[in-house]
Amino acid sequence: MFSSIWSIFLIVLFFGGSIFVHELGHFLAARRRGVKVTRFSIGFGPAIWKWHGRDGVEYRLSWIPLGGYVALPQLADMAAIEGGSDVEAEKLPPISYNTKFIVFVAGAAFNVIFAFALATILWFAGRPAPEYLATTRIGYVLPTLKMADGADVPSPAVVAGLKANDIIRKVDGRAIEDWNQFKSALVLGTGTQQDGKRLVHLTIERDGQLLEVTASPQKSGDERFRTIGISPAFATIIDQVLPGSPSAATGFLPKDQIVAVEGQPVAAPEILFDYLRTHKDRPVRLTVMRQGQSIFIMVPPVAIGQPHPLSGLTQRINYSLVKETPWLQIGEIVDTTFRTLWSLVSPKGDLSFSNLSGPLGIGRGFWNAGQSDFPFRYALWFAVLINVNLAIFNLLPIPVLDGGHMLLATITKLRGRPLPANFILSTQSVFMVLLLMMVLYVTIFGDIRRLVSDFKADTQAKEAAAAQQKKAAEAGK
């Protein structure tokens, strides 16, 4: 219950706060430059709540939570979005191009300032990250990948000759330092061969030697992202052992680290699971580090109708606090955002709008942060990400967005006379509809699809865990 309340608080604080900060930038810049302000709204459409201040500004919360706006009659006719204004722009004095530019860019500037402030806090507090993501060492190479039609094909990593313990140094010539950077470089890649197949160039280190490897990524998983079928090196450390469970009877204790199976190094848990799955009809010897000492544990064959000898244990995930400077945090987000945009528009890219997140997905991100072991730190990091993306998105030269207003103001200046009011109104109305359609598409085919998929996965995992516990209880009787 508390975690749910905490998640809601984080959504209101950071998601709502990010929108508020953006509009506050417009509001303060407009007041500073002497521009008439008639309305300050969080959200679009009809008002849920409104209040008229002594300064003559109507402050309101509106029904459509897709952003917000500050009504500025002197800048552009926004009646299609704002729902009309009691102030006629023709009766107000004209304002300069510089003032328009300052007011339009102020929203994005405030988001960047807000992001920098949050990133500074995160610099001192640290961003939690699983230790296995801090490496670029390959822990496991998938033998096959499952395609959209259900067919299994050899994984690109196997075809390319990648091996466990290879260290990835570069992706398409871009140096990488952790696994997230590797995934980002791979997913956002646009490399293709002459026959149209996807292409990625990897520089790897193997036994101290640098090698150049070429792979042909496949689109796999629910998101249909580029993948080559590898996972990072990951220490197999036992966190908890359920008393009376088969794993307890086998001899495992908390903090045990499984380092080898039949003498084969376990660079990732998948290696262990694969070996046990293919040798379940005979005993398997595991090498385990316990309190600095190497011991052997024999895993008995899996008896028909009985739980697996390793059932009843959980794996530990160690976290470290990553402390990056604010400019490094923001720089990485800016770089990833522009590469994402390029992958969206490039005919060689594989991203689609269904891979993006709308307001529902953003809210879910803060909700998940609130449910985590590090709620405030994760929420801070996500808020930095959202504010930088909000700044970049709003500066795109698309009518209705701040960048679109800047574009229209620039065209007006170059023409030497105002654009027709009907043209501005029609253009903004059309792009407002297109924007709403895009958000609706992203919400349905992106956010809701992921919610349904994750709900099914969680349900299946809970059912499997319950069945495993039932078998363990029956075996202990």
What CATH topology corresponds to 129-231? Pdz3 Domain (2.30.42)
Residue 370: what pLDDT? 86
Does 129-231 match 236-317 in CATH topology? yes
Report the pLDDT value the prediction gives residue 89, as an integer from 0 to 100: 55
Q: Which pLDDT belongs to residue 425?
A: 86
In degrees and rounded to multiples of 5, residue 164 shows phi and psi of: -60, 140
Helix (H, G, I), strand (E, B) or coil at 361: helix
Contact 25, 109 (CB under 8 A): yes
For residues 186 and 201, the answer to whether their CB atoms sit within 8 Å is no
Task: Write down the pLDDT at residue 471.
Answer: 56
Neighbouring residues of 348: CB distance < 8 A, sequence distance ≥ 6: 190, 191, 192
d(CA 213, CA 161): 8
DSSP 143-165: SEEE-TTS-EEE-HHHHHT--TT
CATH topology of domain 236-317: Pdz3 Domain (2.30.42)
Per-position pLDDT tens, the chain of length 477: 566 787 888 888 888 889 889 999 999 999 999 998 989 898 878 889 888 988 889 999 888 776 778 888 877 544 445 555 555 555 677 788 999 999 999 999 999 999 999 999 999 999 999 988 989 999 999 999 887 677 888 999 999 999 999 999 999 999 999 999 999 999 998 888 777 788 999 999 999 999 999 999 988 777 788 899 999 999 999 999 999 888 899 999 999 999 999 999 999 999 999 998 888 889 999 999 999 999 999 999 887 777 888 888 888 888 889 999 999 999 999 999 999 999 988 888 888 888 888 888 998 999 888 888 888 999 999 999 999 999 999 999 998 899 998 999 999 999 988 888 888 888 988 998 999 899 999 999 999 999 998 888 778 766 665 665 565 555 445
List the alpha helices (DSSP H) in 15-63: 17-32
Q: Is 151 exposed, middle or buried (0-12, 13-18, 19+ CB in 10 A)?
A: exposed
Q: What is the pLDDT of residue 79?
A: 47
Domain ranges of the chain: 2-126+375-451, 129-231, 236-317
